[in-house]
Amino acid sequence: MTLSFAPAEAESLPLTILDPQSLDGWLAEQDDATRTWVKATGFGGAIGSVLILPGTGGAPVGALAGYGTAEQRARQRFVLAAAATALAPGVYHLANALPDDRLEREALGWLLAGYGFSRYRESTPNCAGLKAPAGLDAARLEILANAEALTRDLVNTPASDMGPEHLEEAARVLAEAHGAAMTVTRGDDLLQANFPMIHAVGRAAEQAPRLIDMRWGDRGPRLTLVGKGVCFDTGGLDIKNAASMGLMKKDMGGAANVLGLARMIMATGLQVRLRVLIPAVENAIAGNAFRPQDILTARNGLTVEINNTDAEGRLVLADALAFAAEEEPDLMLSMATLTGAARVAVGPDLAPFFTDDETFASALAGVSDAAADPVWRMPFHEPYEALIEPGIADLDNAPKGGFAGSITAALFLRRFTKGAKSYAHFDIYSWQPSPAPGRSKGGLMQGPRAILAALPKVLDL
């Protein structure tokens, strides 16, 4: 599906946005019939409340949408998205101004309210059309919305139709659409190319493990995105229980998010040399599955003791990060649905990230709110390094004790980034547990809009 604003030439009704504080002032300026109608319906300006205004003969001449109180708005990422799905079908244009710091957010939320995952049954929401508000870069907002739609579609698709080969095809379609080059290393060729941990994690599955390598752009700073592409995670021989396995189709959410971010970067023409690396595997169970207490040697020569086969994401990322770092990118980012500990720490709504780069952290913090893409910085806490050193090998993929699981995972990944001039890791959830305005239940983009907004400051673009 394509998310877009209504054509400028389309007939439209004026939509007036009112909060409880501004309602009385607006009513004072209306005719008696309008005041009587609004008061009779009980419209009070609450978030999600809408009201069609009838003219002579009953034909609609406009509509109202509630904007709620400041306290209520603070609890909603997108406010007008609630009105977008509550209004009668048709096309609307804003009749009054929103605050400058909210206009872009609300317009984006309106577009995202039109998203539905319809691969297996029709589920397009009843979303009213909106003409692009004056003063906004409508084309850019449509790029952002459709990049998120791509990410949501990929995450929402079950592993039966989104295995490693399907994820490769999705990346190839994106590459071809934007003139990017792509190479893929598959199966036993991973061993020949020195990607032993990607091979070990994915070798038990029917679809061969692979490393997807996409490149775009021939000038500007080197930006490398690495996304965890575990298309389904049984936990391996340390098998998950049924409840924990229920959402594992989304364990490739990191890959889906970097593909969404790549789409935004390419579509907006950002002047960078972009590289996207996705280790795509299924962590399956078979006689040749990797085992607890196996010791694997990573691409960069570090040895890793496997103390839990369900901590597989960091293994495939490690090989990809080591490979990416050999090119010494100016900025390298990894995104992964990596740890349950991150969800315990910040819940499903925030995207926690780790970095030693103060410039990147500051830039991200400065733009995330305006981008309607909340992030939260977590520490690379040096004293915890000892927790990932098991003694028998250089690294432990699943430290015992249960403490600081997200931090120890991030510290593990950092061991494979030597050479990159700057590195940040995002431990995302990539899932909306229950529907909210502009955010349907299911797959979710977390972090890319904030990253896109921060890149010009971080890379001096």
* b/e code 88-120 from CB counts within 10 Å (16+ = b): eebbbbbeeebeeebbbbbbbbbbbbbbbbeee
- Please give the C-alpha separations between residue 346 and each of 340, 363, 370, 376, in angstroms, as whole numbers: 10, 20, 20, 8
Q: What are phi and psi of 213, to 5 degrees?
A: -130, 105
Length of the chain measured in residues: 461
Q: Which of 57, 17, 51, 21 is nearest to 36 (CA)?
A: 51
314 is catalytic: yes
Nearest to 446 by CA among 343, 344, 315: 343
- From the list 105, 314, 414, 449, the catalytic residue is 314
Active-site residue (options: 35, 240, 273, 377):
240
Tell me whether residue 240 is one of the annotated catalytic residues. yes
State the Cα–Cα distance between residues 263 and 300, nearest whole angstrom.
Answer: 30
CB-based contact 19:100 (threshold 8 Å): no
Dist. CA 354–CA 362, nearest whole Å = 12
Distance CA 340, CA 313 (A): 12
- Which residues are identified as catalytic? 240, 314
